[in-house]
């Protein structure tokens, strides 16, 4: 059967002479793999630039639950002509890498899909805190959100435990960085508070690195990231 769904491209892999296999985060079906023919051919109807990281597509796909690789019947860009700036592109690569490594189950996550699509369609100019909000939002939808139990008796955030603890260990953040995480968590859940606590670029970098380590603790196979190093250079 066929099904219409919007999708966000996570990765493409060349296949045969002119086709690609696209890993796509769809709103209706979760993460799926699709064969798209003719992409690398000069005469192909689908062009490679339509399948860039986090490109938003309207798709009509074949949905056969008995196979891991389905085909695309129709696709079209949802935001034609969108041209992100270099910072926007760096953020797209970062968000794509996080999603590709974090989303494993083929189950719909429509609210997360809506957030990612809305975020990537409005990246100019992106706030410096966006990578942190993005990581916390993904953690929230995957059920691994840090517990914000910070107080005077629990000043250190434990990456492995996922909560604030009384005494520092090998897996806790410093009290100073733990307090910064608490501030972001508080504003994340309080619509009345802007999600832009003022911190230096070094502090934001350290917190983003900490959140990546947190994902590595709580998502088996998440592995190493590389795209965030570019963000550390661009987002000052």
Tell me the average pLDDT across 3-12. 96
Residue (of 110, 137, 106, 119) closest to 54 by Cα position: 119
Decide which of 3.90.550.10, 3.40.720.10, 1.20.1440.120, 1.10.357.10 is the CATH code for 86-234.
1.20.1440.120
Tell me the average pLDDT across 138-157. 97
**pLDDT at site 84:** 65
Q: Does CATH place domain 2-77 in 2.40.50.140? A: yes
Q: Give the helix ranges, DSSP H, for the chain.
A: 86-102, 110-120, 130-141, 175-188, 201-218, 228-234
Give the 3-state secondary structure of residue 161: coil
**pLDDT at site 79:** 83
Average pLDDT, the chain: 89
With a pLDDT cut of 90, the percent of the chain lying above it is 63
Most confident of 81-95, 153-167, 216-230: 153-167
Answer yes or no: are the C-beta atoms of 61 and 5 closer than 8 Å. yes
**229 pLDDT tier (thresholds 50, 70, 90):** confident
**3 pLDDT tier (thresholds 50, 70, 90):** very high
Tell me the average pLDDT across 68-94. 84
More confident residue, 188 or 110: 110
What are the structural domain ranges in the chain? Answer: 2-77, 86-234
């Amino acid at each position: 059967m066929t099904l219409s769904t919007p999708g966000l491209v996570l990765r493409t892999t060349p296949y045969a002479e002119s086709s690609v296999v696209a890993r796509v985060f769809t709103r209706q079906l979760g993460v799926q793999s699709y064969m798209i023919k003719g992409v690398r051919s000069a005469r192909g109807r689908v062009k490679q630039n339509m399948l860039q990281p986090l490109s938003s597509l309207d798709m009509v796909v074949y949905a056969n639950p008995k196979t891991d690789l389905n085909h695309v019947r129709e696709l079209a860009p949802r935001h034609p002509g969108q041209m992100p700036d270099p910072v926007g592109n760096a953020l797209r690569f970062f968000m794509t890498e996080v999603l590709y490594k974090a989303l494993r189950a083929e189950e719909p996550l429509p609210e997360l899909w809506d957030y990612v699509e809305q975020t990537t369609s409005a990246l100019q100019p992106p706030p410096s805190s966006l990578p942190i909000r993005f990581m916390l939002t993904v953690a929230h939808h995957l059920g691994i959100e840090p517990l914000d139990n910070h107080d005077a008796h629990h000043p250190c955030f434990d990456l492995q435990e996922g909560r604030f603890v009384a005494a520092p260990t090998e897996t806790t953040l410093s009290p100073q960085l733990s307090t910064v995480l608490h501030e972001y968590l508080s504003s994340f859940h309080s619509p009345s508070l802007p999600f832009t606590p003022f911190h230096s670029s070094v502090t934001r970098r350290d917190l983003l690195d900490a959140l990546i380590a947190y994902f590595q603790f709580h998502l088996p196979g998440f592995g190493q990231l590389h795209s965030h190093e570019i963000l550390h250079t661009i987002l000052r």
